């Protein structure tokens, strides 16, 4: 059964269509990437999935809950991480995780924070204000916050942006392990093509708010006759998508 069901989703700002007629599903254990250039509608789509933005058209169902009517039941089992949305900088890392642990009603919170600190290597700066961390450390803290409630659906916007290759690789490995262990559904908006190829089962290619192509990374490489997803992305971005 699909954990994310999106049907005919659209968002208009006056005369501008940010997202048009978007439909897709994502199952348990599955990872989907929204891939597209700037202004393709990735962030708008994620904001609608999270209930931060009300769609102009269409319907979203997550974990069996209609997001227009019953979003809080779904939000308790979801989470989100983005290096572009900050956590309170004056609170320490531990305090931030504690705040979100309360908001998500996480049982045995101290143990959960210790577990995440060990897994994401946060121990050295748990008691430092979040605003004083390096970009890479902030990304790891944001990820810890996103995992605090052991989400069944995890939405990630550029999850490894500003991480060095070693830490980025560690985070990707951790996400793979979490997905394998929990059966979590992952939805990514990532431009890191190596990351997309490694983590994602399917890719949705977006351009100007519309899906222009979709498939597994392997199918897309074969269809466009390219060696890497980056080449496929550039082909679609510059010359348009091939017919289905």
Partner 1 sequence: MRAPRLRRIWGVVYRHACLYRKSWPRLLELGYWPTLEMLIWGLTARFLYLRGGTGWQLAGALLGGVLLWEVALRAQMGMAMSFLEEIWSRNLAHVFISPLRPAEAVLGLMAVSALRLIAGLTPATALAYGLYHFDIFAFGPVLVLFFANLVVMGWAVSFGVMGLILRHGAGAESLAWGVLAGLTPLCAVYYPAGVIPMPWRAISWALPATHVFEGMRAALAGHFAGGELALAAALNLLWLSALALVFLREFRLARVRGALLTIGE
What is the binding site for partner 1 (CB under 8 A)?
13, 43-44, 47, 50-54, 72, 75-76, 78-80, 85-92, 95, 98-105, 145
Q: How far is the CB of 216 from partner 1 (least distance, A)?
A: 29
Residue (155 or 203) nearer to partner 1, CB: 155
- The radius of gyration of the chain's CA atoms, rounded to the nearest angstrom, is 18
Q: How far is the CB of 74 from partner 1 (least distance, A)?
A: 9
Edge-to-edge strands of the sheet including 57-62?
16-27, 2-13, 57-62, 65-66
DSSP 131: G
Residue (44 or 185) nearer to partner 1, CB: 44
Helix ranges, the chain (H): 42-49, 71-75, 93-103, 109-119, 135-147, 165-182, 193-199, 217-224, 229-239
Residue (52 or 180) nearer to partner 1, CB: 52
Nearest CA to 189 out of 36, 83, 11, 78 is that of 36
Secondary structure (3-state) at 86: coil
Residue (100 or 178) nearer to partner 1, CB: 100
Q: How far is the CB of 56 from partner 1 (least distance, A)?
A: 9
Secondary structure (3-state) at 109: helix
Residue (146 or 220) nearer to partner 1, CB: 146
Sign of the dihedral through C-alpha 229, 176, 32, 26: positive
Residue (79 or 241) nearer to partner 1, CB: 79
Q: How far is the CB of 106 from partner 1 (least distance, A)?
A: 9
Distance of CA 115 to the CA centre of its chain: 22
Q: How far is the CB of 101 from partner 1 (least distance, A)?
A: 8
Q: How far is the CB of 28 from partner 1 (least distance, A)?
A: 21
Burial of 174 (0-12, 13-18, 19+ CB in 10 A): middle
């Amino acid at each position: 059964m699909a954990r994310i069901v999106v049907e005919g989703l659209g968002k208009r700002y006056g005369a501008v269509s940010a997202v048009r007629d978007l439909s897709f599903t994502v199952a348990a254990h599955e990872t989907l990437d929204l891939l597209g250039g700037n202004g393709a509608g990735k962030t708008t789509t994620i904001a609608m999935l999270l209930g931060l933005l009300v769609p102009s058209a269409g319907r979203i169902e997550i974990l069996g809950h209609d997001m227009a009517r019953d979003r809080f039941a779904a939000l308790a089992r979801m989470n989100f991480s983005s290096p572009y949305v900050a956590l309170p900088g004056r609170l320490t890392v531990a305090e931030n995780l504690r705040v979100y642990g309360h908001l998500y009603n996480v049982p045995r919170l101290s143990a959960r924070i210790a577990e995440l600190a060990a897994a994401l290597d946060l121990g050295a700066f748990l008691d430092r204000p979040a605003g004083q961390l390096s970009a890479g450390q902030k990304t790891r803290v944001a990820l810890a916050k996103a995992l605090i409630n052991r989400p069944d659906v995890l939405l990630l916007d550029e999850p490894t942006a500003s991480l060095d290759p070693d830490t980025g690789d560690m985070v990707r490995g951790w996400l793979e392990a979490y997905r394998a262990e929990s059966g979590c559904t992952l939805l990514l908006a990532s431009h890191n093509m190596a990351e997309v190829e490694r983590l994602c089962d399917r890719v949705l290619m977006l351009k100007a708010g519309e899906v222009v192509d979709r498939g597994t990374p392997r199918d897309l490489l074969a269809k466009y006759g390219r060696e890497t997803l980056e080449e496929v992305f550039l082909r679609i971005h510059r010359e348009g998508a091939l017919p289905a």
